[in-house]
Amino acid sequence: MDTLLQAVHSGLVAYVTSSFSQHGLLAVTGIFGSVVAGVGKLAIAKLIDIRGRCEGFLLMILFIIIGMILKALCKNVETYAAGHTFYWVGHIGLSYIVNVIISDMTSLRNRMIMWGLYMSPRLASTFGGPKIAELFYEHSTYRWAFGSFCIILVGFSIPVAVVLIANERKAKAMGILQREKSGRTLWESTVYYLIEFDS
């Protein structure tokens, strides 16, 4: 679904910037989002290492949703650029987290098969995304395209989050995953996580 969203977004981005009569800023919004997402990848890796895959997954979905809401409600290119940055950080982070989850649950021998299955929907979204974008542009607005994908993405993400949470609880019950209570205060936890993110 995230890949389909990206394909639809690519089909609509030119109409968004031209609707504000600032078509020349099309490249700037993309470059800025890519730079921030690239830099944020290390922080995302550390986050899922410290807190867990499910928490990282949900945070990236939240970033995508915030970005899409900003894009749907934007009144100028600056707000659109901020929304695109949130969206792109969430998109890149989500792809990274799914890659880590696939690596966690497969052996090295079967990893390429799972990777191929994970990447195969890109074929459909490559052809379907522009057509969906065209239908939104002709029969509605680009704002509704972004808004509807907020709802669709949440709907598709809830089952994945439920599976991740259920498996984490199962691992805790079996004694495979053990998180001990730290006994730290809020301030001590803040300092601890700042140091962890710095290392």
**Per-residue pLDDT tens for 39-68?**
888 888 888 888 888 899 999 999 999 999
CB burial class (10 A; 0-12, 13-18, 19+) of residue 2?
buried
Question: E strand or H helix at 194, and its extent?
Answer: helix 186-198
CATH of domain 2-198: 1.20.1250.20
Res 158: pLDDT: 93
Mean pLDDT of the chain: 84
Give the mean model confidence (pLDDT) for residues 31-36: 80
How much of the chain, in percent, has pLDDT values that exceed 70? Answer: 94
**What is the predicted pLDDT for the residue at 26?**
64
* Residue 25 per-residue DSSP state: G
Place 198 in a pLDDT band, splitting at 50, 70 and 90: low
Q: Please determine, for residue 112, whether its predicted confidence score (pLDDT) is greater than 90.
A: no
Find the mean pLDDT for residues 101-115.
85
Assess whether pLDDT exceeds 90 at residue 159. Answer: yes
Integer Cα distance of 175 and 193 in angstroms = 25
> What pLDDT score was predicted for residue 2?
82
In the prediction, which pLDDT does 24 show? 66
- Give residues with Cβ within 8 angstroms of 27, minimum separation 6: none
Q: Are 20 and 143 in contact (CB under 8 A)?
A: no
Residue 145: pLDDT band with limits 50, 70, 90: confident
In this prediction, residue 57 carries a pLDDT of 93
Using CA atoms, how far apart are residues 157 and 183, in angstroms rounded to an integer?
33
Please report the pLDDT score of residue 64 as a whole number: 93
